[in-house]
Amino acid sequence: MSDWVVRGGAVLSGTVSVQGSKNAALPILAATLLAEEPIRLLNCPVIRDAENMLKILRSLGCTVRREGDDLIVDSRTASDFVLPTALSGELRSSIFLLGSVLSRFSEADAPYPGGCEIGNRPIDLHLEGLRRLNAVIEERGGRIRCRGGRLRGAVVDLDYPSVGATENIMLAACRAEGRTTVRNAACEPEIVDLQNFLRACGFRVHGAGMPTVVIDGVEQGHGATYRVMPDRIAAGTYMIGAAITGGDVTVTGMQPDAVDTLLYKLSACGCEVTKTADSVRVRARGRARGVAFTETRPYPGFPTDLQPQLFSLLSVADGNSVLVENVFENRFRHAQELKRMDAKNRILDRTAIITGVERLHGAEVIAHDLRGGAALVLAGLSAEGETVIRHAERIERGYERMDSVIGRLGGSVIRKEDGIDQEEKTQ
Ligand code: UD1
């Protein structure tokens, strides 16, 4: 267990280059199994979720090594189709391995996946999609067993544009016989990144980023060198950091268009937002203004993964704001924690009504999930006094050294592992 101590009263300013994308890297790591030749990944983030995915790949027999900042995954040695229970239980994205393991070995055996507790997260759309491709799936004793021979292409109509299900079906379809068409597919930029990776490996995929994705199966892929896209959620988090602390932050090495909906909100809050081709500067102009209405939606709507961080900002904005969470049914656990810091909010089902206060006050709070934890860091930076965030290891699932990034911008976050100051430990 890790506690983070956040010192309040910071004004974040400066330039940061954003990490590689967690949500792009995880399905790409799963996809390395399909190529059967070494893959060199650049810009793969060093975060707990990616480390867990690599541990699972190793347990399946893949060889994984780092060369400087590059990560090399060689799946030629992979031999196992049984996913380890404990590791997969910690990582929801282990579900992506179902499609790629099944495609590679004609068989897969996986426990139900874990991940953030942000609501009941079923995998029915994943399983239904794989069944459409002719996999035989049995769910028994907390495990999922799939068998398939060579999968067969099909039309898959998703009831909901699930990001994970779209990606899993794409992975399973790459080596299937014939054409697979995914309709009502999710359109997130990370799906485009997965498509770009798969193409670099010789697979035939097109349409990602739009609601219909078409995959023409080929027998085998090949090795590739690929740069993972920048993380739009981490970028957005640091931009909100500028707004909430009255600061001035430039995030570089990113894709500004992928966070347009956030940029509109930051402008509506009164921030000055300047975009270039690969950077965004957010300059606060005094206290943020409340925003009448924001609701989360699948891309290109406002991302659910930035809802908690926006929640923190609106908690100190001038006026009332309404935030509706449409994607996950239980993603307001940070609301209660923010109240410990003297925030004012009311939750009615999927709607939060937030009345901005002049100042939050440091308190002891719990990071219930990854993005909720990041929201508490931002709140702590803007608060008076010190905030102690319990279970901050959950933040490390998706942010690469957030404490150092914030330190470089002039804020102070100290990580304590089992009560030991990590800075002292390294000295
Ligand atoms: C991905 C992201 C996550 C983000 C989410 C929504 C990764 C590794 N994670 O998660 O950060 O918050 O997209 O943008 O990319 N659902 C079903 N049945 C299914 C699958 C999903 O009912 O089989 C529901 C979920 O419970 C949820 C909604 O669909 O309410 C969206 O989930 P989905 O788009 O699948 O999110 P993930 O892929 O899990």
Distance of alpha carbon 59 from alpha carbon 78, whole angstroms: 9
Q: Which is more confident, 243 or 417?
A: 243
Amino acid residing at 403: D
pLDDT in tens, 79-97: 999 999 888 888 888 888 9
Residue 270 has what pLDDT? 97
Q: How far does residue 79's CA lie from ligand 1's centre (Å)?
A: 29
290 shares its domain with 217: no
The answer, yes or no, to whether any atom of ligand 1 lies below 6 A from the CB of 305, is yes
Distance of alpha carbon 70 from alpha carbon 280, whole angstroms: 26
Evaluate if residue 419 carries a pLDDT over 70.
no
Domain end marker among 227, 262, 281: 227
pLDDT in tens, 345-373: 999 999 999 999 999 999 999 999 999 99
pLDDT interval class at 401 (50, 70, 90): very high
Bridge-based pairing of strands 179-183 and 155-157 is parallel
122 shares its domain with 219: yes
Identify the domain containing residue 164 by its residue range: 22-227
Contacts of 289 (CB under 8 A, 6+ apart): 268, 269, 270, 317, 318, 319
Q: CB–CB of 152/133 below 8 Å?
A: yes
Domain end marker among 175, 199, 227: 227
Domain end marker among 202, 227, 252: 227
195 shares its domain with 236: no
Give catalytic status of residue 116 as yes or no.
yes
Q: Sign (positive/negative) of CA torsion 96, 97, 101, 106?
A: negative
The answer, yes or no, to whether any atom of ligand 1 lies below 6 A from the CB of 194, is no
pLDDT in tens, 35-79: 989 999 999 999 999 999 999 999 999 999 999 889 999 999 999
**Sheet strands (E) in 8-100:** 13-17, 39-42, 63-67, 70-74
Distance of alpha carbon 333 from alpha carbon 347, whole angstroms: 10
Distance of alpha carbon 1 from alpha carbon 255, whole angstroms: 34
32 shares its domain with 85: yes
Nearest-atom index, ligand 1, CA of 298: 14
300 shares its domain with 394: yes
190 shares its domain with 315: no
Give the mean pLDDT of 207-227. 97
Mean pLDDT of the chain: 94
Q: Which helix (H) or strand (E) holds 420?
A: strand 420-421
317 shares its domain with 198: no
Residue 213 has what pLDDT? 98
Supply the residue whose CA is at minimum distance from atom 31 of ligand 1.
162
The answer, yes or no, to whether any atom of ligand 1 lies below 6 A from the CB of 47, is no
Residue 427 has what pLDDT? 38
Distance of alpha carbon 264 from alpha carbon 284, whole angstroms: 14
247 shares its domain with 388: yes
Evaluate if residue 336 carries a pLDDT over 70.
yes
276 shares its domain with 155: no
Residue 233 has what pLDDT? 98
For a ligand 1 pocket test, name from 96, 162, 231 the mutation site with the most ligand atoms within 8 angstroms of its C-beta.
Answer: 162
Q: CATH number of the domain at 413, please.
A: 3.65.10.10
Q: How far does residue 186's CA lie from ligand 1's centre (Å)?
A: 10
Contacts of 149 (CB under 8 A, 6+ apart): 106, 134
Residue 423 has what pLDDT? 59
195 shares its domain with 288: no
Question: Taking the CA atoms of the chain, what radius of gyration do you get in angstroms?
Answer: 21
Residue 36 has what pLDDT? 87
289 shares its domain with 223: no
Report how many domains make up the chain: 2
Residue 142 has what pLDDT? 82
| Residue carrying the six token digits 């609601």 | 211
192 shares its domain with 271: no
The answer, yes or no, to whether any atom of ligand 1 lies below 6 A from the CB of 272, is no
Angle in degrees, CA 394, 117, 115, rounded to 5: 65
pLDDT in tens, 97-124: 999 999 999 999 998 876 556 556 789 9
The answer, yes or no, to whether any atom of ligand 1 lies below 6 A from the CB of 52, is no
Nearest-atom index, ligand 1, CA of 27: 8
Q: How far does residue 164's CA lie from ligand 1's centre (Å)?
A: 6
The whole-model pTM stands at 0.96
pLDDT in tens, 114-165: 655 655 678 999 999 999 999 999 988 888 999 877 899 999 999 999 999 9
Supply the residue whose CA is at minimum distance from atom 39 of ligand 1.
164
The answer, yes or no, to whether any atom of ligand 1 lies below 6 A from the CB of 331, is no
Q: How far is CA 52 from CA 88, 91, 146, 397, in A?
A: 8, 7, 22, 9
Q: How far is CA 249 from CA 89, 164, 258, 378, in A?
A: 37, 32, 18, 14
